[in-house]
Amino acid sequence: MGVFKRNKWLRIASMMFLLCAGNLYAESQQLIVNVSHTENSLSRNTARAIFSMRVQHWNDGRPIRVFVLPDKHPSHQVFTRETLSLFPHQLRRSWDRYVYSGIGTAPIEVENEEEMIAKVAATPGSIGYTRQEILNENIRTLSVR
């Protein structure tokens, strides 16, 4: 009987933990832009067009500066899969075609999330993503529709 009870509580505890963890996971992946950006949200198709490097200008004509983490970085993989609904290799293919046929450029790669936040904060017209909490007044978060 005692064993059953302990198991039950363990199950409830682990379920709650999983739920919380799931929420944290989903909410913590944030699309971030430099404070100079005025809109509050972006459609998924627009986010795809920007991160695949097809579109290089915001609607008001200003150039977009795209920052990404390395392909193997967990945040990059989560962002690509969950926010863009793409595989990292699909983005890579698009960049490769632009770079190696000379008709465009790849995004600027940063080492880690600290650098991502610093670069987006310092670069007007920039966009990036992070799972970290943002305590930087030069950065705004965008929701993806």
Partner 1 sequence: MKIFERYLFGKLVGTLLSGLLACAGVYAGEHSDLRWHGFLSQGVIHTDENNFFGDSTGTSVDFRDVGVGFSWQPQDRLLFSTQALYRDAGGTSPNGVSVDYALVNYSLINKLDFGLDVRAGRVKNPLAFYSETRDVAGTRPSVILPVSIYAPAFRDIFHSSDSGMLSGYKEAGNWLINLDLLRGTVPFDERSGRLLIPVAQPGSIEDSKLWMARSIVEYDGGRIRFGVTYFKFNARLDTVGGPGRINPGHLDVDTRILSFEYNWENLQFNSEYMRIDSIYKGIFVPGLDVKRESESYYVQLGYRFNEKLRVFGRYDVYYADRNDKSGNGQLMLGRPKSDGFTKDVVVGAQYRFFDHWMLAGEVHHINGTAALGVIENPDVSKVKEDWNLYTLQLSYKF
Which residue in the set 4, 101, 133, 137 belongs to the binding site for partner 1 (CB under 8 A)?
A: 101
- In the sheet where 30-34 sits, what is the strand order? 41-42, 139-144, 30-34, 126-130, 65-68, 108-109
Residue of 14, 23, 40, 105 that binds partner 1 (CB under 8 A):
105
The binding track of 30-49 with respect to partner 1, each residue x by CB under 8 A or -, is: ---------------xx-xx
Report, in Å, the least distance between residue 140 CB and partner 1: 19
SS3 label, residue 123: coil
Stretch that binds partner 1, among 27-35, 102-110, 111-119, 132-140 (CB under 8 A): 102-110
Q: With beta carbons less than 8 A apart as the criterion, state whether 142 and 42 touch.
A: yes
DSSP track, 52-105: TTS--B-TTSPBPEEEE--TT-HHHHHIIIIIS---HHHHHHHHHHHHHTTS--
Q: Is 108 in a helix, a strand, or coil? A: strand
99 binds partner 1 (CB under 8 A): yes
Q: Select from 5, 74, 102, 137 the one that contacts partner 1 (CB under 8 A).
A: 102
- Residues of this chain that bind partner 1 (CB under 8 A): 45-46, 48-49, 54-57, 59, 63, 70-72, 77, 84-90, 93-94, 96-97, 99-106
